[in-house]
Structure 1
């Protein structure tokens, strides 16, 4: 991006670019790194970052770095879809964790990524890349496969038409294989991801539906590939997802009465 193009952008696009520069692999960035990642002149990046720090959207770290500030989390907590869904799902997720002692995730689709609304894990659970508020790819995760299977046709076509990153040698990236896999997810109501994002991990996921029957989220358990029988775990995950779906339906019905 040229300096002229950067100057032609709106203030909003510049601010969102600065915030989007942060991610799971880059939770802390220097001003120079923010300027390089966003294409903004250093002076512009400095001015906007200073304003974001004063507002609370960014925080200064020790040294020369910046990180996302608590103000962003406060605003995020006001999003009704995420919090109401999380409130309904959390008791069921806790039960699922108690029965498995493995990672339990709740995720929704945000464009072509899975956004993790919540995660429960313990000291003995497999170390995974997920985190609350983080995003991971749809095609390489259990929750992502579920969300992609029920995504609009145009989004699925757009994703499969692009070049999908391969994270391990097991990652499925061929459009034809992914299309067949998504058909199977819609047929069985369950998705598996074998070592596709992290070597040694197995994800088993199921859809969560609202009162209208639309898939609005996905639930999964992630464990070591040697941690148990996938078919038995699939039954537990699917039962938990159905329980959350029923709770969502009951809450929505109660709100209308």
Structure 2
């Protein structure tokens, strides 16, 4: 699990946030993208809009607190961020409990397996398991995707509070591929179907060439999704319908186990 920052988020800092030391520090940390290893001082200043002397001063404080590491060519995220992330009790417990179930599902399918949770109107991927034949996918542990174009997102959205569903269905549905569902009425029908069948599908809606099936991990009352599990594979080889039974069984077993842990 990658616990750091994600520049793909829609909740970018407002200009006023940069007036505080904490806001400046967060802006610097969030300046790192998923593929960034080291960023020079000048690039951090460009991405944050902060003056170079300010970035240098705040970055120095972050280095002293082990949240950044200074290198010959710039700065990189440090291990202190991972340590803090691992103290997030709910996500840590969820991952620890879920991992055996995810590994077993991977062994049964040998396809890419994800575990995701809802945050706002997005999916946050908590875990991703895949072997040498895994499908190429933009998802990553610690990354985010819109709920409306992913199978995990639809499984979560179908069981989300009414205000979350309203926010998604009433807002613009970004088209990520030609297959993305952008009509609120059609998406609503898919969510109703998910409630009936217990599974959600994505057919090249987030990434061309990928198919996905997902099932929610429900709380004891059977209404709210604590998380969702998905199986992903490539078009032409992967037949998601064949995995419905195994996926529903895995999600139900994890739900029962989580209920006993009182997550």
* TM norm structure 2: 0.86
Alpha-carbon deviations, 1:6-31, whole Å to 9, x = none? 58622222222222222325454333
Q: What CA RMSD, in Å, does the superposition of the two structures yield over aligned residues? A: 2.1
Preserved CA contact (<8 Å) 1:200 1:224 = yes
Q: CA deviation at 1:92?
A: 0.9
Instruction: Tell whether 2:251 aligns with 1:245.
Output: no
Match of 1:197 in 2: 206
What stretches of structure 2 of length at least 5 have no aligned partner? 1-14
Q: Which runs of 4+ in 1 moved over 4 A?
A: 5-8, 25-28
Preserved CA contact (<8 Å) 2:18 2:27 = no
* In structure 1, C-alpha distance between the alignment counterparts of 2:102 and 2:50, rounded to whole Å: 42
Alpha-carbon deviations, 1:65-96, whole Å to 9, x = none? x3322111111111111111111111111110
Match of 1:221 in 2: 231
- What aligned pairs does 1:79-118 form with structure 2 within 5 A after superposition? 79-118=88-127
What stretches of structure 1 of length at least 5 have no aligned partner? none
* In structure 2, C-alpha distance between the alignment counterparts of 1:206 and 1:224, rounded to whole Å: 19
How many residues align? The count is: 248
* In structure 2, C-alpha distance between the alignment counterparts of 1:108 and 1:68, rounded to whole Å: 24
Q: CA deviation at 1:187?
A: 2.2
* TM norm structure 1: 0.87
Pick aligned residue for 2:197 from 173, 188, 193: 188
